[in-house]
Structure 1
Amino acid sequence: KFGATLKTSRLLLERAKELDLAIVGVSFHVGSGCTDPETFVQAISDARCVFDMGV
């Protein structure tokens, strides 16, 4: 619904680098009513992947 895919995240990070912008973090939101632990596992895994792209 909101946010960026992993592919789009890579493109955004590349563009930020071109513009000499300092990206300082990664966040995620799984939904306020989410109770499935696996959803959180996937979100954390995806956030880590984006974080690693920016390193």
Structure 2
Amino acid sequence: MLRQLAKRELEEKLRIFKKILDEATTAEERQSAQRYVDKYTAELKKFELPDECFEA
């Protein structure tokens, strides 16, 4: 349940920063937005792992 909520939150952040990246007008804006897109993409990849990887 919490994993699904966290995943949805990351997907929403990624969607927002992709939109910002698309609308960026300066190299600085694009670079900053791209950093966040990369960060949230990497975070979302963690959700591709099976649940057993997160059990302690």
**Under a length normalisation based on structure 1, what TM-score does the superposition of the two structures give?**
0.44
Q: Which has the higher contact order (CA 8 A, sep 6+)?
A: 1
Larger Rg: 2
Q: TM-score, normalised by structure 2?
A: 0.43
Q: Which has the higher helix share?
A: 2
